[in-house]
């Protein structure tokens, strides 16, 4: 029995030991995996290298220079009318305050004696009660008659005194003063002076009577009235304010550098440059009248330091026209004026956008080369410019922009757009 009994091996720590050791194949598997990864990576690198070497490669070409496309305008010389655009205010050309020259009660008035009423020259505006002044004339006539009667009596006394003096002093020398007193010359001078004074007082009374009738001194519109029928007025009392309707003035402001283009008269009654006056319809001027420059005021505007012109407009209310389909121009209205200045011959009108750096222009030659020139500017308007030098007839002016322009560079002309020389369309834009 003791031989059949087998004891199992144990270590010193009491752990049972296996009879056979475990297999040692784990490190071999790891080596195989590493080898396979290296093999796949090498195959990828080799494939990429092969594709890179065998794929077609693009050809290198130098960059091509493209000339910029520009829009042009063919220029032609022409005769241009300088037009100065300005704003102005309508003011009266003739304005008076009508006053009474005598006192009394107003017994009649003109049917148009109201604000906005129209009066013609010589119309009887109102009548002051004339009775007191008629009675004064009757008294003055009586005084004239008395003075003439006294003069006639004195003339008779002159004949009697002359005969008496000749009888008493025919052979004796006499003094001059004695002769004058004896012949009653001072009495005659007094009688003649009394007649003249009485006649003068009669004329004054008649003049005062005529002043009871107040008449319009010119064609006018009543701007304001201060009296009415039955009012008691005194001398120098204001009756109404009248504004002449034959002519209005427009006070326009113009910059000093533009005065040289405008004809301003220096004599009274003369007329200067023609003016086109646009007014009405709010911000848009739908109606027009003709005017003339008549005066240059002697001082400048306080705020803008602008020169002030007076423009005369005849018949601003249209009263002399048989058929007038436009509204009148009113006092205080704010209007546009277009003053026709001098004419410039052989000049070039170009768009304002074609002016570069405020004094240069771009020209395209026949060979497509850009040229930058200095321009001689005569006149600047809001949308156009007039040049005298720097251009020739039928040259092409560039009116579009170019990035980084250089004198002598190549450009291409846009042939799809046709550009005509600036005309009335640009001139109309300048009014704004």
User: Where is mean pLDDT largest: 274-288, 335-349, 412-426?
Assistant: 335-349
- Which carries the bigger pLDDT value, residue 417 or residue 148? 148
Which whole number is the average pLDDT over 310-319? 92
Does the 95-128+217-245 domain belong in CATH 3.40.630.30?
Answer: no
Using the predicted structure, report yes or no on whether residue 369 has a pLDDT greater than 50: yes
Calculated CA dihedral for residues 369, 372, 373, 375, nearest 10 degrees: 120
Residue 254 CA to residue 86 CA, distance in Å, equals: 6
**Which pLDDT score is estimated for 418?**
46
**Which pLDDT score is estimated for 284?**
59
CATH second-level architecture of 84-93+246-342? Beta Barrel (2.40)
- Structure confidence by residue, pLDDT tens digits, 273-302: 999 999 986 555 678 999 999 999 988 888
Beta strands in 282-359 (DSSP E): 287-296, 307-314, 334-351
Using the predicted structure, report yes or no on whether residue 423 has a pLDDT greater than 50: no
Does the 70-79+345-430 domain belong in CATH 2.40.420.20?
Answer: yes
pLDDT band with cut points at 50, 70 and 90 for residue 429:
very low
Calculated CA dihedral for residues 371, 422, 357, 368, nearest 10 degrees: -20
The CA-to-CA distance between both ends of the chain, in Å, stands at 137
Residue 358 CA to residue 352 CA, distance in Å, equals: 9
For 91, residues 6+ apart whose C-beta sits below 8 A from its C-beta are: 248, 249, 250, 251, 331, 332
Which whole number is the average pLDDT over 227-233? 92
Domain boundaries in the chain? Answer: 70-79+345-430, 84-93+246-342, 95-128+217-245, 130-211
**Which pLDDT score is estimated for 275?**
95
- 59-68, 98-107, 352-361: which range is least confident on average? 59-68
Which whole number is the average pLDDT over 151-170? 72
CATH of domain 130-211: 1.10.287
Provide the residue count of the chain.
432
Look over the chain and give the mean of its residue pLDDT values, rounded to a whole number.
Answer: 82
Which whole number is the average pLDDT over 128-138? 93
> Which has the closest alpha carbon to 96: 73, 66, 62, 119?
119
- Structure confidence by residue, pLDDT tens digits, 211-221: 999 999 999 99
**Which pLDDT score is estimated for 177?**
59
User: Where is mean pLDDT largest: 1-15, 242-256, 362-376, 414-428?
Assistant: 242-256
- Which carries the bigger pLDDT value, residue 285 or residue 396? 396
pLDDT band with cut points at 50, 70 and 90 for residue 366:
confident
Count other C-beta atoms under 10 Å from residue 73's C-beta.
19
Residue 246 CA to residue 6 CA, distance in Å, equals: 156
- Structure confidence by residue, pLDDT tens digits, 115-127: 999 999 999 999 9
User: Are the beta carbons of 208 and 133 closer than 8 angstroms?
Assistant: yes
> Which has the closest alpha carbon to 390: 350, 432, 423?
350
> Which has the closest alpha carbon to 394: 81, 72, 79?
72
Which class for 280: exposed (0-12), middle (13-18), buried (19 or more C-beta within 10 A)? middle
**Which pLDDT score is estimated for 246?**
94
Residue 233 CA to residue 214 CA, distance in Å, equals: 12
Which tokens hold the place of 95?
């304005």
pLDDT band with cut points at 50, 70 and 90 for residue 359:
confident
Using the predicted structure, report yes or no on whether residue 18 has a pLDDT greater than 90: no
Q: What is the CA radius of gyration of the chain?
A: 55
What percentage of the chain reaches a pLDDT higher than 70? 82
- Which carries the bigger pLDDT value, residue 34 or residue 62? 34
């Amino acid at each position: 029995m003791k031989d059949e009994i087998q004891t199992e091996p144990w270590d010193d720590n009491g752990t049972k030991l296996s009879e056979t050791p475990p297999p040692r194949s784990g490190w071999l598997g790891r080596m195989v995996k590493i080898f396979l990864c290296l093999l796949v990576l090498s195959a990828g690198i080799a494939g990429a290298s092969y594709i890179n070497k065998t794929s077609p490669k693009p050809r290198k070409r130098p960059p091509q220079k493209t000339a910029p496309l520009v829009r042009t305008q063919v220029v032609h010389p022409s005769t241009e009318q300088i037009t100065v655009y300005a704003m102005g205010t309508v003011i009266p050309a003739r304005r008076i305050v009508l006053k009474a020259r005598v006192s009394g009660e107003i017994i009649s008035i003109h049917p148009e004696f109201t604000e906005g009423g129209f009066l013609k020259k010589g119309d009887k505006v109102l009548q002051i009660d004339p009775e007191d002044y008629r009675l004064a004339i009757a008294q003055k006539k009586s005084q004239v008659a008395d003075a003439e009667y006294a003069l006639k009596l004195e003339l008779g006394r002159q004949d009697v005194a002359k005969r008496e003096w000749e009888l008493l002093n025919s052979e004796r020398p006499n003094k001059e003063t004695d002769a004058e007193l004896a012949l009653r010359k001072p009495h005659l001078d007094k009688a003649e002076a009394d007649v003249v004074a009485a006649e003068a007082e009669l004329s004054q009374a008649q003049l005062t009577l005529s002043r009871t009738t107040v008449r319009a001194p010119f064609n006018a519109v009543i701007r304001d009235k201060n009296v009415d029928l039955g009012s008691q007025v005194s001398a120098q009392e204001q009756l109404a304010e009248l504004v002449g309707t034959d002519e209005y003035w427009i006070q326009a402001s113009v910059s000093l550098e533009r005065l040289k283009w405008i004809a301003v008269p220096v004599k009274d009654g003369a007329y200067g440059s023609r003016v086109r006056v646009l007014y009405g319809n709010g911000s848009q001027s739908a109606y027009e009248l003709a005017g003339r420059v008549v005066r240059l005021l002697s001082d400048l505007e306080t705020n803008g330091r602008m020169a002030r012109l007076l423009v005369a407009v005849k018949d601003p209310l249209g009263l002399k026209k048989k058929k007038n389909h436009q509204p009148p121009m009113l006092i205080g209205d704010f209007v546009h004026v277009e003053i026709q200045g001098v004419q410039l011959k052989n000049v070039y009108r170009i768009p304002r956008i074609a002016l570069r750096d405020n004094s240069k222009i771009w020209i395209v030659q026949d060979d497509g080369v850009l040229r930058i020139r200095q321009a001689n500017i005569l006149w600047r308007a809001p949308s156009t410019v007039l040049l005298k030098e720097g251009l020739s007839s039928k040259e092409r002016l560039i009116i579009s922009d170019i990035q980084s322009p250089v004198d002598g560079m190549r450009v291409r002309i846009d042939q799809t757009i046709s550009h005509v020389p600036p005309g009335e369309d640009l001139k109309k834009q300048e009014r704004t």
